[in-house]
Amino acid sequence: MDTRKTTPGWRLLEKYAVTVGGGHNHRTGLYDGVLIKDNHLAVCGGIGPAVEKIRKRISHLVKIEVETTTPTEVHEALDAGVDVIMLDNMDIGQIREAVALIDGRALVEASGNVTIEGLQTLSDAGVDLISVGALTHSARSMDLSMRISSLDEEAAP
């Protein structure tokens, strides 16, 4: 999956390119899913209070994802009943431990410092989703141009 990290003004095109290339979009904007990150946790006083606060403001159809960085946060996210638990910048041992702890009670997303070489290892660890910001924010640009030559009047029909 990609992330919301896109080139200003190019988000829709970059997200389209990810899908054409066989990937999936995480979220397009802040409106199509809740992702509770570290700053939200700091302001709200933790995962439980943050999830409780947002649940009062969203439709029952909107999924809630929480970014976690420690096993303690994974426990808190499970206790809060979130839909998706993001394991952010965890090493492979921590990821395996978290996947076992979650045990199917939420979708598991691995994120942070993900490389193409590490995709298979992450997949083998049992995560459901792998997000890679580089799919959009680090894609190389192509040098495209269109050249128009004047028509030779004698060759024109």
Q: Which residues are catalytic?
A: 5
- Extract the tokens encoding 108: 């598991």
The two three-digit tokens of residue 155, written as one number: 């060759």
Alpha-carbon torsion (92, 119, 102, 62), positive or negative? positive
The secondary element (H helix, E strand) that includes residue 35 is strand 34-36
**Separation of alpha carbons 23 and 83, rounded Å:** 21
Give the H or E element holding residue 80.
helix 71-80
